[in-house]
Structure 1
């Protein structure tokens, strides 16, 4: 069965190093490790393809270019085209409710206020898809949420995120090899 790994973020140099683009950062780290270029246009995004495991299953690595709030359009279009079930889609994204540099996997759940995930739930018609969230922490005093997520990481937070990315890449690999439950057991500790 094919799988889809979707990293959420916003297109353009202005957003490249922002907190909201941590999903793209993780997808890029995974692609680099496995020698995959995410450079093909389609599905309202850019994507790359690879084969995984002894059965050489197809894995699609997708970056929606719809801006965060419409991410579901891209994810659903790719899932329909490749006939990928929601349970075989792993969504990578930022989470305000996790400390900076923490990661958390889930099998399903609500959007938790994340507009990109809200869009995916609406477009897929279900909240039953796996996710890997990377903590970006709550806004510092005086910050609005929108300004916080669209701002670059400070040096300390950037180091924390850089430190967790290799572990997050391993969690994606575990999802592909052993499934979401095993990945949760190993990487949610």
Structure 2
């Protein structure tokens, strides 16, 4: 099925940092969503020079590549750009799963494009693809309170209610990616945009977090 433009999604990129010390951090939600998607679909990641890759033969859509870049967040474009150019995919065929400070913890939002909003992984992708016009699935992590530096927040492990919301968001985001690929962008956006995950699996509607 197609993304927000005429091009079908051919690549799903989960943003994060490689290494066990980062696995459960807020900044690694993109990796975790792809892991959950692979579990749901019975896919196995293989290690390549770009990172970890898995291929999904999506009924009615063809083959879609899942990629977790191992370049570290700030250099994600170095893994994605050459791959996209080699296959001749337009940027609109690349769906990026990314954590977002501008949304409340657990909130989900599909966007057809937009600025990096201070996210270094998105900034690297925009530079590599030469455009801001590629779709992304944003997962809210909220802002740090008090004087905590943003870098400590995004590289920290959530706890309490935030942890419950983000654990639920990983499941729902994996479902959202499946919906984009099997039923199309419009159906996915209608169903999942601004969805806030509550502890216990409940949902509460939310507004646009703004920003990216």
TM-score (norm 2): 0.84
| Counterpart position of 1:39 | 46
| Counterpart position of 1:16 | 23
Task: Report the secondary structure of 2:48's partner residue.
Answer: strand
Structure 2 matches for 1:1-189, cutoff 5 A?
A: 3-42=10-49, 44-54=50-60, 57-189=62-194
CA distance in 2, matches of 1:17, 1:149: 11
CA distance in 2, matches of 1:2, 1:14: 31
**What stretches of structure 1 move > 3 A for 4+ residues in a row?**
none
Task: Report the secondary structure of 1:5's partner residue.
Answer: strand
Q: Would you tell me which structure has more helix in proportion to its own residues?
A: 1
CA distance in 2, matches of 1:109, 1:181: 17
CA distance in 2, matches of 1:60, 1:153: 29
Q: Offset at 1:84?
A: 2.0
Aligned pairs, number: 187
Q: Offset at 1:162?
A: 1.2
Residue by residue over 1:136-174, the C-alpha shift from the partner in whole angstroms, topping out at 9 and shown as x without a partner, is 110121210011101111132121111122221121012
CA distance in 1, matches of 2:70, 2:113: 23
Mind listing any 5+ residue stretches in structure 2 that lack a counterpart?
1-7, 195-212
TM-score (norm 1): 0.93
Contact 1:107-1:180 at 8 Å conserved across structures? no
Mind listing any 5+ residue stretches in structure 1 that lack a counterpart?
none
Task: Report the secondary structure of 1:37's partner residue.
Answer: coil
CA distance in 2, matches of 1:154, 1:11: 21
Q: Offset at 1:2?
A: 6.1
CA distance in 2, matches of 1:80, 1:26: 25
Contact 1:72-1:119 at 8 Å conserved across structures? yes
